[in-house]
Amino acid sequence: MTTTLAIDCGGGGIKASVLDESGTMRAQPVRVPTPYPLPTALFVKTLTELSEQLPKADRATVGMPGMIRHGVVVTTPHYITRSGPRSRIDPELVPQWEGFDAQAALSDSMGIPVRVLNDAEIHGAGVVAGQGLEVVMTFGTGLGFAVFDGGRLAPHMEMSQAPVRWGLSYDTYIGEHERRRLGDALSEMYLIAATLKRWEDEGRNEEDLPLVQHAADTGFARIGRALDETIANMPAKWVGWLLRPILRPGAHARGPTDKVREAVAKLVYEPSASRDRLVSGFHPPKAHSGLGLLDKAFNRYPVRCRIRTTEAGRGGRAESGRRGRLHARRTVAPVP
């Protein structure tokens, strides 16, 4: 069985694992932060030390950002900077990296055959169908771009450095900032799914529905804001107009209503089976700690908040001005 050491060199971290002929990982992946500043000698040393943490492989494949020709670096956007992506360029590093034969240097250091390609091309080789013209785009610290024709890798085009407008490249425009926005939206989707799964696993208790509703409404509102920011950031306004009905159709989520918030507050303030399920996995507080005293107070003196409005006029609408102000009253009822 032939094994391959696969190394992904990113702007923020360098990851590696060993794969078999079917592409299955034969070892747990390892990761180290990308060191900066990063001269070529430190680059080779870092990858060699990373490979020593894994089982010995028969060969290695290394993907790195930038334009690579036959294992030789033509240009790389991140590794010539002083402290990482979007920081100042170090003039001393530019001549080191331009024309650097990374493939030969790594092969000599690791003692095995090494192939060095652009990172998006490495990723694309694992996902293309091998039929027709296929374009692979990766979104990480920057934008990755690769083209395959009938399963064969086409000459690399560094689309990430193409200008969106004056002084702004695609690498900056849809790189880290947009990744974080879309990453936030994806995280909210995961949290909503986890909330629904827990509600399902606990028996679909109807009294817990306000908690589920609050979590879902909050998550969808945050997803909407992230998509709105992405659409608003489009350099061509007409692209945003086309995307909006696709990404944001119908009414927009505005977060939990006051009715849902009030129901959640009631579940939290007063002792109930729902509150017990909500905090079942928490570490119990010490009796005389702040949380312990607060929990004791909640159990003995549940707080009920009532909001009333002065209503008048046709249709029962609340009056404006002084007569229409909200009056809040808190009643404390000790539990026997």
Domain match, 100 and 65 both: yes
Angle made by CA atoms 33, 38, 41, in degrees to the nearest 5: 110
What is the rounded average pLDDT for all residues in the chain?
Answer: 80
Domain match, 188 and 336 both: no
Number of domains in the chain: 3
Domain match, 188 and 224 both: yes
Identify the residue whose tokens are 């606990």: 202
Residue 299: which domain range? Answer: 283-336
List the CATH number of the domain containing 33. Answer: 3.30.420.40
Residue 68 placed within a domain:
yes
Residue 125 placed within a domain:
yes
Q: Please report how the helices 237-247 and 209-232 are oriented relative to each other, as an axis angle in degrees rounded to 10.
A: 160
Stronger pLDDT, 186 or 179, i.e. the higher one: 186
332 pLDDT more than 90 = no
Residue 170 placed within a domain:
no
Domain match, 150 and 196 both: no
Positive or negative, the CA dihedral 73, 79, 82, 86 is positive
Domain match, 24 and 107 both: yes
CA distance 66 to 158: 7
Residue 167 is predicted with a pLDDT of 62
DSSP 21: T
Domain end marker among 104, 139, 164: 164
- The verdict on pTM exceeding 0.75 is no
Residue 234 is predicted with a pLDDT of 64
Domain match, 21 and 97 both: yes
- List C-alpha distances in Å: 324 to 305, 310, 329: 19, 5, 16
Q: Please report how the helices 40-51 and 102-110 are oriented relative to each other, as an axis angle in degrees rounded to 10.
A: 40
The model's confidence at residue 130, banded by pLDDT at 50, 70 and 90, is: confident
The model's confidence at residue 321, banded by pLDDT at 50, 70 and 90, is: very low
Residue 185 is predicted with a pLDDT of 79
Q: Mean pLDDT throughout 227-240?
A: 70
Stronger pLDDT, 45 or 325, i.e. the higher one: 45
Residue 171 placed within a domain:
no
Domain match, 85 and 207 both: no
Q: Provide the CA 237 distance to its chain's centre, in angstroms.
A: 26
CA distance 229 to 181: 8
Domain match, 266 and 288 both: no
Query: Environment class of residue 155 by beta-carbon count within 10 Å: exposed (0-12), middle (13-18) or buried (19+)?
Result: exposed
pLDDT in tens, 53-105: 999 999 999 999 888 999 999 988 889 999 887 788 999 999 999 999 999 99
Residue 169 placed within a domain:
no
Domain match, 263 and 120 both: no
CA distance 45 to 324: 72
Q: Please report how the helices 176-201 and 209-232 are oriented relative to each other, as an axis angle in degrees rounded to 10.
A: 160
Beta-sheet strands, E only, within the chain: 4-9, 13-19, 30-33, 59-64, 67-69, 72-75, 114-118, 133-139, 143-149, 152-153, 163-165, 168-169, 303-308, 327-332
Q: Mean pLDDT throughout 4-14?
A: 92
Q: Mean pLDDT throughout 139-163?
A: 80
**Which amino acid appears at position 159 of this protein?**
M
Domain match, 278 and 324 both: no
The model's confidence at residue 233, banded by pLDDT at 50, 70 and 90, is: low
Domain match, 160 and 196 both: no
